[in-house]
Amino acid sequence: MKKELILLLFITTNCFSQKQFEVFFDFNQDVPNKKSTETLITFLAENKNIEVLKLSGFCDSVDTQQYNKVLAEKRIESIVQLLKENNIKINQNLVRNAVGKDFKQSKIQAENRKVNIFYKEEEQKPIESQLTKQIKNAKVGETIKLPNIYFYNNSPQILPSSISTLDQLLSAMEENPNLKIEIQGHICCQTVHDIGDVSTARARAIYNYLLRFNINQDRMTYKGFGSSRPVHKIPEKNEDEANDNRRVEILIISN
C-alpha cells in the first residue's frame, strides 16, 4: 500500500477553477526524481494551454526549518526552469511559496518532498473552419457550395458523414444573427426532371436540421432546382462530375 502511494506522482483537483499537479523529489535533492520528471514532461506536452499561477515547495522532516526552506526554494526554481524549457505560460505574478517542513507531514517521507504546481487552463478559441470563414466573408448574392454533404441514394436522408459540415453551417448562422440564406438543392444524372422532387427534399432536410437547433425560420428558405443547373454537362463523364452536380448550396440573402 505504501509503495502504491509513493508511485502516485500527481493529483489534479479543482479549487476555485485552479488545478494542482504534484512533483516529487528524492531525499535532499532540488531536482525532481526521474519518474516524476518524465510524468511532468508528459503532462506539459499534453497540456500546452495551461498557465501556472503558484508553486509551493515542501521538504521532509529531516534537518532544520531554515535549511529546508532554502531547499524548497531551490525545488521551486527547478520547476520554473522545466516550465520554461517546455514553453509553458507562467503568470507574471507567480506566487512562490517555500514552505520547507512547516506543514502537516505525511508519515511517508517520500510524499513530503514535493512541489505543488497550481495552474489554470486557458480557454481555447474554437478554430474557425474554411466554410465558416467563407460564409462570414460572403457578399449578398454569392452562392456557396456546402462541401461533403451526402445523402442516401435517391433519398433526402442525410448521411452521418455530413454532420461536420452541417455543424459548421450552424455555427455560421449562430455567430452572425444577420445572416439569411436560401438553401438550394441540386441533383445529377437526370436529363428530364427531378423524379420525386429529391432536390427540394434534400434542401428541406438541411433547413430542418438548422430549425432543430433553433435557427429562426425567418432567416432561411429552401428550393430545389433538380438538374436544371448542372456544373457539368449531363450525362456526366464520371462519378466526380456526378458528385459536383449532386450538391447543396446556400445563397446569401443577407449578411
Q: Are residues 135 and 79 part of one domain?
A: no
Give me the pLDDT at residue 8, please. 40
Give me the pLDDT at residue 2, please. 44
Q: Are residues 217 and 154 part of one domain?
A: yes
| Burial group, residue 186, by CB count within 10 angstroms (0-12, 13-18, 19+) | buried
Would 3 be classed as within a structural domain?
no
Q: Which residue is it, cell 430545389?
A: 224
Q: What is the largest CA-CA distance in the chain?
A: 94
**Cell numbers found for residue 154:** 435517391
Q: Which domain holds residue 232?
A: 130-254
Would 2 be classed as within a structural domain?
no
Give me the pLDDT at residue 246, please. 80
Give me the pLDDT at residue 17, please. 62
Residues linked to residue 121 through DSSP beta bridges, in sequence order: 50
Q: Are residues 193 and 171 part of one domain?
A: yes
- Last residue in a domain, options 101, 121, 141: 121
The total of structural domains in the chain comes to 2
pLDDT tens digit at each of 255 positions of the chain: 444 443 344 444 444 467 999 999 999 999 999 999 999 999 999 998 999 999 999 999 999 999 999 999 999 999 999 999 999 999 999 999 999 999 999 999 999 999 999 999 877 666 678 888 899 899 999 999 999 888 777 788 888 888 899 999 999 999 999 999 999 998 888 776 667 788 899 999 999 999 999 999 999 999 998 878 888 888 888 888 877 788 899 999 998
Q: Are residues 142 and 59 part of one domain?
A: no
The amino acid that residue 146 corresponds to is: L
**The domain that contains 138 carries what CATH number?**
3.30.1330.60
Q: Are residues 139 and 115 part of one domain?
A: no
DSSP states of 11-51 as a string? ----BTTBEEEEEEB-TT-SSB-HHHHHHHHHHHHH-TTEE
Q: How many CB atoms lie within 10 A of CB 136?
A: 14
Q: Are residues 222 and 142 part of one domain?
A: yes
Q: Are residues 109 and 51 part of one domain?
A: yes
Q: b/e string for 61-82 if b means 16 or more Cβ within 10 A?
A: eeeeeeebbbbbbebbbbbbeb
Q: List Cα–Cα distances, 134 to 85, 101, 130, 195, 211, in angstroms.
A: 38, 60, 6, 32, 22
Q: Are residues 135 and 101 part of one domain?
A: no
The amino acid that residue 10 corresponds to is: F
- Say if CB 53 and CB 120 are below 8 A apart: yes
